[in-house]
Chain A
């Protein structure tokens, strides 16, 4: 092995793929390598927390001071801000550098960019939440399947045809629920191109409201349409449009069902043509409304305030469909009064 010249040592430090800085006791930067120089600028006369633009004064648990004090190596994760204003996550190590007399003369810090690891970590956390949400939805379906199977078996044992049928319906009902969840999840997990065709939005609205009218009436809810005849046709994904309206109306019905304060409940579905050729569809209800704490969460996947009754995927799918159309979904709500969801589809050339 040959000894390195000073020049060579510096060149090696400069080409290390991490930020290397040397600090004195007062946290002033004595030297920094090329990488640090490039991303954080000239360290001359700066302290390390100034160079790295750590917020406020020096860091709460200063690694450099620790290494000066106990002569040991320390590390922690930090966020630094580059000269250009970008935030990067780094893993920082501090290590004492001793002089000829054995005293700690300075402390060297290395900071490795771990932004990509951080990003991965975030995705994993998200994945974990998704799986937890999924498992919760499945638990209740399991209960339904358990129950259905139990009742079918009981009917078979007693040779009771009616009971077999009742149990079988429980099984089918829960099977449908699983199918819907799986479809929703697959829908959300893929980037997909909407299948744009010429559709008549008003007809789709009528179709969906016919599907729900009986159910709504059963809960004493009136379903009402206010359609703009100017909305003749539009370029949209017909299945997507159908899902959006279905999800919004289903939510509106739930909100009315859960509202115990008003005697009469009303849901209105509206269509409007904008001057710019856009089509706006609104679903307004006078149900429970959405309170402040809930407002920020409703578009999150698996967020549901309905306990076992909701998967929390409805609005997430809705939002995805609207994005695919280059459109938007917004809402305004007054707790106790009701909620209006607005889906806006921009004009699209044929």
Chain B
């Protein structure tokens, strides 16, 4: 069965882009446009990996991450941070990878495969 990836970004265009690319690479995807919705989708879809957009201080992405790492069930789901702001991933303690926009698709795919142990 294909692994499932949750894409969180409040820009619908970015969600479309990343999900399209991941689907073409053979993954199932689901998406959310903010952190609150992200938690709901997380519970429902139980993804194997999350890509998270982090940019504004106090934004919902940071909160999403905090909630996720607090839950027993999901705390070990790998997170890849996709951010427009270099060096701002500090809010997340240990993302498996950090990408700046615009993303390098091949590098993203490598990081996804590696964190899924493929």
Contacts and interface: CB of A to CB of B under 8 A. Distances in A.
A151 B57 CA distance: 30
Interface in B75-118: 84-85, 100-103, 105
Given A154-B20, A306-B56, A307-B55, A139 B100 contact: yes
Contact of A146 (B17, B24, B56, B59): B17
A214 interface: no
A139 B102 contact: yes
9 contacts: A136-B84, A139-B101, A148-B13, A170-B16, A305-B56, A306-B56, A307-B55, A307-B85, A308-B85
A174 B101 CA distance: 14
Interface residues of B, number: 20
Interface of B: 11, 13-14, 16-18, 20-21, 24, 55-57, 59, 84-85, 100-103, 105
A59 interface: no
Interface in A191-237: none
A348 to B, nearest CB: 40
A17 B20 CA distance: 68
A100 B106 CA distance: 76
Contacts of A173: 13
A173 B13 CA distance: 10
A309 B101 CA distance: 13
B16 A151 contact: yes
Contact of B84 (A139, A146, A151, A154): A139
A126 to B, nearest CB: 21
Given A307-B55, A307-B84, A143 B16 contact: no
A147 B101 CA distance: 11
B14 A151 contact: no
B17 A150 contact: yes
B20 A144 contact: no
Contacts of A154: 20, 24
